[in-house]
Structure 1
Amino acid sequence: MAIQVVPLTEADIPGAIEVIQQAFADDPYFKWVFDASKFNKQRNSDSLTARCNWGIKNALFHVAKETQDPDTQSQTPTPILGVSCWLAPHPPTQPESWYSWFQSWTLSFNQLLNNIRYLGRGGLRTNRYWIWKQRQAEAQAAIWDDPRGYYFCNIVAVSPEAQGKGVGRLLFEAVTKRADEEGVKCYLESSKSVPNVAIYEKMGFHMSKEMECRDGADACMLYCMVRDPRSE
């Protein structure tokens, strides 16, 4: 099976969301931060749609698809096999641009509209979300030492049917090759120690910090990993 990795388009968003929701259904962080009894899949889908539309303009958002015969490409929609979203490096000393600020504000406004439309956040435990954001800020402050910033892997998801076929590796390489050319480090957080940590180590990442997000008796571990740029 030949696979191509291409930038996300608006037409890809429904398929990309389906892959993300399937891949994260059993994710430890997802289960910790969402109340399963109140989870609203459609609310979550609309939230991801807003995120995808933002990411098309403001992130490195890719999808993996099976290469199709040119004669049938226009007739049959190409299934999405995997999705990744990376944030480009931003030097901490460099102020945010007005464009970036406006885009972030637009995303927040669209998410506010979703909250109003669905009368809530679809089961999101907001206190746990902010616990995670605080722990994440502390971890990055301790780990990130490159003044140029890091390529930050925000999402990587592979369809259950496509796992084990190298889709995740291709999605990573779409950005790590660029990072290597620029000599910039990469960063990710995984809530699964097994098998994810070993998989990411094969891609050049190393463990930098184990981050605990705790809310009373309930805790979620996230594994912070960094990849140094490789030279040919």
Structure 2
Amino acid sequence: MGIEIHPITAADIPSVADCIQQSFADDPYHIWAFDQRPGKFDKERNLASLRAKCEWGMRNALFYVAKDSDDPSGQVLGVGMWMKPRNATEPETWAEWLDGYLLWFKQGWNLVRYQGRGGLNTKRYWIWKQVQADVQAEIWDDPTGYYFCNIVAVRPGNQGKGIGRKLIELITKTADAEDRKCYLESSKAVPNIAIYEKLGFTVAKKMECEEGGDKIDLYCMFREPRPKSKPKP
């Protein structure tokens, strides 16, 4: 097997959405935010939402896929999507605003098309978004911005092959060259925290979301840029 990393293409989107859905099926946040009762979670509705997010990410994020170069099917084995650093004083561009509106429209159409949100608990979703905004306002103190790991996923059955590491190091190397920090949030403490720590991340804060007696913890992690090694004399 030869794992290769490439920028996402439109043809990759169905496989990318499937990879993300399968990877997050047992994720604590997913279990908390979606109704897990039989017949409540609509996989097709969720895939449609993920595809819309992928289309937005192609134009607005650093979005990469991992594939086996020996697999003629081109199945996506891993996904990494990072938001680009944004200066605190930098306004949103018209193109970004338009893409955001287009994503909103597509998700609205999915709402009508599938007659619902596919099991998403919108109250819990907005609780998470508010807590996330509050925490980021508290701990994001670098005005030059961060490389924000929005999604990193490895298709089940392909862990331990270095796919996640490749998808993360692709960006952390760039961050090091630019002397920038990286940031991510994980709702799975084990084994994710230990894995991210090996890649240079440290836990800065635990984000706590609660509704109806059910609680979810997410771990906010930063990575400081690593200095370039000096050539030996």
Give TM-score scaled by structure 1 length: 0.95
Residue 59 of structure 1 aligns with which residue? 61
Give the Cα–Cα distance (whole angstroms) in 1 for the partners of residues 85 and 224 of structure 2: 14
CA distance in 2: counterparts of 1:29 and 1:40, whole angstroms: 17
Alignment pair present for 1:33 and 2:29: no
Deviation at 1:92, TM superposition (A): 2.0
Q: Quick one: which amino acid aligns to residue 98 of structure 2?
A: F
Tell me the distance in 1 between the aligned counterparts of 2:119 and 2:89: 36
Match of 1:137, SS? helix
Write out per-residue CA displacement over residues 43-88 of structure 1, whole angstroms, 9 at most, x where no aligned residue: 00000111111111111111001123xxxx8xx3222110111111
Work out the CA distance in 1 between the residues paired with 2:217 and 2:95: 34
**Cα distance in 1 for residues equivalent to 2:63 and 2:210:** 30
AA in 1 matched with 2:157:
E
Instruction: Map residues 148-167 of structure 1 onto 2, 5 A cutoff.
Output: 148-167=144-163
Structure 1 position 91, deviation (Å): 1.4
1: CA distance, partners of 2:108 / 2:177: 39
Q: Which residue of 2 aligns with 1:168?
A: 164
Counting aligned pairs with the same residue, the percent is: 58
In structure 1, the partner of 2:15 is 15
1:209 aligns with 2:210: no
| SS of alignment partner, residue 221 of structure 2 | strand
Which residue of structure 1 lines up, in the alignment, with residue 231 of structure 2? none
Q: Output the amino acid matched with 1:13.
A: I
Q: Secondary structure at 1:162's aligned position in 2? A: coil
Q: CA RMSD in A?
A: 1.0
- Spell out the pairing of 1:186-205 with structure 2 (5 A cutoff): 186-205=182-201
Once the two structures are superposed, residues 5-63 of structure 1 have per-residue CA deviations (whole angstroms, 9 ceiling, x without a partner) of: 11111111111111111110000000000012311100000001111111111111110
**Cα distance, 1:89 vs. partner?**
0.9
One-letter amino acid of the structure 2 residue matched with residue 9 of structure 1: T
1:100 to 93, 96, 104: 96
Mapped to 1, the partners of 2:134 and 2:35 lie a distance apart of: 25
Structure 2 CA distance for aligned equivalents of residues 126 and 45 of structure 1: 17
Query: In 1, Cα distance between the equivalents of 2:168 and 2:4?
Result: 12
Please name the residue that 2:180 is paired with: 184
Structure 2 distance, partners of 1:44, 1:36, is: 13
Q: Determine the C-alpha separation between the residues in 1 that align with 2:52 and 2:134.
A: 27
CA apart distance, 1:93:
1.4
Match of 2:196, as an amino acid? Y
Give structure 1 stretches of 5+ with no counterpart: none
Gaps of 5+ in 2: 229-233
SS of aligned partner of 1:161: coil
| SS across alignment from 1:198 | helix
- Aligned-pair distance for 1:2? 1.8
Q: Deviations over 1:107-162 (max 9, x none)?
A: 01100000011111111111100100111011111111110111111111101121
| Secondary structure at 1:84 match in 2 | strand
Q: How many residues align?
A: 226
Distance apart, 1:3 and its partner CA? 1.0
**From 86, 93, 97, the counterpart of 1:90:** 86
What is aligned with 1:42? 44
Query: Helix, strand or coil for the counterpart of 2:74?
Result: coil
